[in-house]
Amino acid sequence: MEEISMIGLDLAKNVFQVHGADQTGRAVLRKKLRRAQVLEFFAELPRCVVAMEACASAHYWGREIGRLGHEVRLIHPAYVKPFIM
């Protein structure tokens, strides 16, 4: 797999969407994850920036993903639109 430099994570109740991009911004990963698979997925992934919409559950997921060594960025909902494919 190509080097992933940034992950866009769309949080939901049960199924989360993951969009991974390389340094140039080209999509190299698109995946659906169930809630129970999220931390396992990020534990196996090389360290990168993980961006997610700032919402109530984002703080929990940000702390958990940050403990795995990733750089977590919570972004304003208005800036999420460019990540949606």
- The predicted-structure confidence for 34-48, as pLDDT tens digits, reads as follows 999 999 999 999 999
Q: What is the pTM of this model?
A: 0.88
Helix (H, G, I), strand (E, B) or coil at 83: helix
pLDDT score of 81 more than 80:
no
Architecture of domain 6-83: 2-Layer Sandwich (3.30)
Polymer length of the chain: 85
pLDDT score of 2 more than 90:
no
The full DSSP string for 5-74 is: -EEEEE--SSEEEEEEE-TT--EEEEEEEEGGGHHHHHHHSPS-EEEEE-SHHHHHHHHHHHHTT-EEEE
Q: Provide, rounded to the nearest whole percent, the portion of the chain with pLDDT above 70.
A: 92
| Tokens 């994570």 found at | 9
Angle (CA) 69 77 10, round 5°? 50
| Average pLDDT in the chain | 90
Extents of the domains making up the chain: 6-83
